[in-house]
Structure 1
Amino acid sequence: MIDGITVFGAGVMGSGIATLVTGHGIPVHLVDPDATALDRAGTLVAQQQRHGQLLGSFPGDTTFGDLTTAESTDGRIESAIVVEAITENTDLKRALLTEVSSVIADEALLISNTSSIPIDELATAVTRPGQLVGIHFMNPPYLIKTFEVVRGRQTGEAAMTAVTALLDRLGRRSVVVRDSPGFVTSRLLHPMINSAARLVGTGVATAAEVDALMQGCLGHPTGPLRTADLIGLDNLVDSLIVLAERLDDNSYRPCEALLEKVRRGELGQKTGAGFYTYDGMAT
């Protein structure tokens, strides 16, 4: 029985995780110091709940779990499961995990949602590293059926049992991988997106042409650049920089076309424009 989950970060991923969890009848307490982000997240979660319900992503007989929000925890966290879902920045994640790990229960499960930062690197910031496990929640998490679970060298058996039980409760398949920069999915997907963006930036093809070829010829479900817009181009750039630095391989460096989009604030669906435009979809 899961009584409730605390999620830190009211951005795209935090809201999507909250949608997935509440959609399966589990209450979520969403924490973010930005009151505007919390208001926006409340609206987004309600929209995504309706969308997921229409697509049959949630059990038909389940009442949605309550969503509550707060700008801080006031130093108290009672949930047995805590998810960190803030921006893909090592220093920010480590600072938050240090704070959270000092006030959660000894047996609580602490999850970091990361697409590229090694769990072993984050584990040095927490009080009890055996509690920490990584999940790479794909966006949108309420529609994706399989998640990458990252076990650090110090992650304990109790944490692995708890995270497996959580994903089972959410109707998700978990694939456990060993810890490394970018794990499996980002090491494969992000360089492909970078290459696709480079083709667009140098005028070889348009974003729509690249995606059409990847879908029609190679079976990619949405195309790499529409996927990039869904991930968020700022998040993608952050992840590519982590990969380049941690792997000492400059081929992972984000190309100029991606960097220019980020400089212009064209971050994908969440801002209404990226490689594509999204009328009325900016969040």
Structure 2
Amino acid sequence: MTSRNFSIETIGIVGTGAMGRGIAQIAALAGLTVRLYDTNPAAIGAARDYLAETFAKLTAKGKLEQARSLAALANVSGAQVIGELADCDLVVEAIVEKLDVKQALFRELETVVSGRCVLASNTSSLSITAIAAGCTDPSRVVGYHFFNPVPLMKVVEVIDGLRGDPAAGDALMDLARRMGHTPVRAKDMPGFIVNHAGRGMNTEGLRVAGEGVASFADIDRIMREQAGFRLGPFELLDLTALDVSHPVMESIYHQFYEEPRFTPSPITGTRLAGGLIGRKTGEGFYRYEDGKQLVPAEAPAPTGLPASVWVSKRYPHAHDAVVQLIGKAGVALDEGVTPALNSLIVVTPFGHDATTAAVDEGLDATRVVAIDTLFPLAGAQRRTLMTTPATTRAVRDSAHALFAADGVPATVIRDSTGFVAQRVVATIVNIGCDIAQKQIATPDDIDLAVTLGLGYPRGPLALGDALGASTILAILSNMFSVLGDPRYRPSPWLARRAQLGLSLTQRDAADIDTQSKETQQ
């Protein structure tokens, strides 16, 4: 295949919904000539009116100069028939997510545009190779996946099909930068980077809720305030809406041939069927009034501290952190080899549940409470405690009072392998590692795509490094040993780098050496 030189100045956009309008906005502002086409002629005029209103608002707020606003709008025109896209250098489709419809559109476009025109799909979940398979020249078909709202979500995935010309993808990478976006490059695999990596938060959060470990609100609180994410899984699902996110979960699961890591939850299927879609309908995992989320009030912590506390020494660093909190609360520390009869027993498992931790150390499960120490306890915004099925209410309440004594809220959950934050974060890191292992994208692009596309505090690989690859590996291995669920099997990328003490962001040394030599040449 001979690589071509693609130069892009005129862009056609097929489909004038939210995504099409957003792409048109950033393209017009970048000085590109934009042609809008839609099978509904009225939608074209509505889209141009929307852009005019948007540019006017930005100008009124001082975010856009008047001259640039007028120039951008002048760059946008409508195409009444698809033949008016003939002189476009790029056509981006942003239409319905149906393979046969997209294939039919691309076959029609091939009869209209020149051989130097790139054909791009904004699909979020369909195979670029499959879309291109209907074309006479599949080499110029590229995935160009923007995120909604396009002007604010500053990342775009560029996806190469199996028969794609790398030069076409290169041209879209350059164009993305010209339009003020950050491009990331991905192979044609289900979910690409962002929707693939996003399975960790959503599907594991749903798994935690499905096991009856904690409520939707408590899981969100833990992921926000303990783990440091901007949104918890159920707030995120309400924002994206289940009519969008549930089909994507099912699609990615089936495209990976029922890979256990991506198993959807019946929770979302049932709620979708019942119309509890999310924020846009006023009710999802939360209710909304005038666009404001209504969150159930959190009960205050109990009073009544334990007389003394014995802390497991299985994990020395965790032990020391817990002992410091106990000292600040003024509670006596039981330093015996085994717990005294009246002591609260605290364990600090990683990946194990409280029951397994108690049995492994031969402890009285009626007095055992586990505390999650994956994230620092001192200076925390929230702590998570976990009971065994045998833990008494009095013991649970005394532990809750102790670990909330300094004013930091504590959430008490039912027994769970890996608490909440441990198992969700470990799943996020593990899936990110597997994306790297499969060479779907470079480690840098994986982290960049996830931070920009999902708003995570760190990309999955950097997050794993920050918490310790060996710690994440231990959490997953322990969860796998207790549950026997292949969902939690560690990625080879994670396991090998943890064993060698390497960063999760590091590619194989031989690959780095090869690239270095190629660059020097």
Place the TM-score, normalised by the shorter chain, in its bin.
0.7 to 0.9
Which residue of structure 1 aligns with residue 180 of structure 2? 171
Q: CA deviation at 1:261?
A: 4.7
- Pairing 1:10–2:16 present: yes
Structure 2 counterpart of 1:13, one-letter code? M
Partner of 1:125: 134
Q: Which residue is equivalent to 1:152?
A: 161
Q: Following the alignment from structure 1 to structure 2, what is the Cα–Cα distance between the partners of residues 216 and 83? A: 40
Q: Which residue of 2 aligns with 1:101?
A: 110
1:36–1:187 Cα change, 3 Å: same
Aligned Cα RMSD in Å?
3.5
The one-letter code of the counterpart of 2:125 is: S
C-alpha spacing 1:52/1:17, structure 2 compared with 1 (3 Å) = farther
Q: Alignment partner for residue 28 of structure 2, among 22, 25, 50?
A: 22
Output the CA distance in 1 between the equivalents of 2:237 and 2:167: 35
Amino acid at match of 2:20: G
* Superimposed CA distance per residue, residues 147-173 of structure 1 (whole angstroms, 9 cap, x where no aligned partner): 221112221133123112211211222
Out of 234, 259, 283, which is 2:269 matched to? Answer: 259
The aligned runs of 1:32-111 (5 Å cut-off) are: 32-35=38-41, 37-38=43-44, 41-42=47-48, 44-46=50-52, 49=55, 62-63=68-69, 64-65=72-73, 66-70=75-79, 72-74=81-83, 76-111=85-120
**1:112 equivalent in alignment to 2:118:** no
> AA paired with 1:96?
L
Residues 139-193 of structure 1 deviation map (CA, whole Å, 9 limit, x = unaligned): 2221122222111222113312311221121122211122211122111114532
* Structure-2 residue corresponding to 1:246: 255
User: 1:234·1:267 contact (CA, 8 Å) conserved in 2?
Assistant: yes
| Alpha-carbon separation, structure 2, partners of 1:264 and 1:121 | 33
The alpha-carbon distance between structure 1 residues 12 and 272, as it changes in their structure 2 partners (threshold 3 A), is: farther
Partner of 1:134: 143
Question: Counterparts in 2 of 1:159-238, with a 5 A limit?
Answer: 159-196=168-205, 204-206=214-216, 209-238=218-247
Q: Which moved more, 1:213-222 or 1:134-143?
A: 213-222
* Aligned AA (1:258): T
8 A contact 1:24–1:62 mirrored in 2: no
Q: Which runs of 5+ in 2 are unaligned?
A: 1-6, 292-521
- Bigger radius of gyration among the two: 2
- What SS does structure 2 have at the residue aligned with 1:62? helix
TM-score by length of structure 1 reads 0.79
The structure with higher relative contact order (CA 8 Å, sep 6+) is 1
Instruction: Give the CA deviation at 1:244.
Output: 1.9
Whether the 8 Å CA contact 1:7–1:30 is kept in 2: the answer is: yes
In 1: Cα distance, 2:277 partner to 2:48 partner = 21
Distance verdict in 2 for CA 1:41–1:190, change over 3 Å? farther
Encode CA deviations 1:87-143: one digit per residue, 9 max, x unaligned. Answer: 322222222222223322101111111222221122201221111111221222211
Residue 5 of structure 1 aligns to a residue whose secondary structure is strand
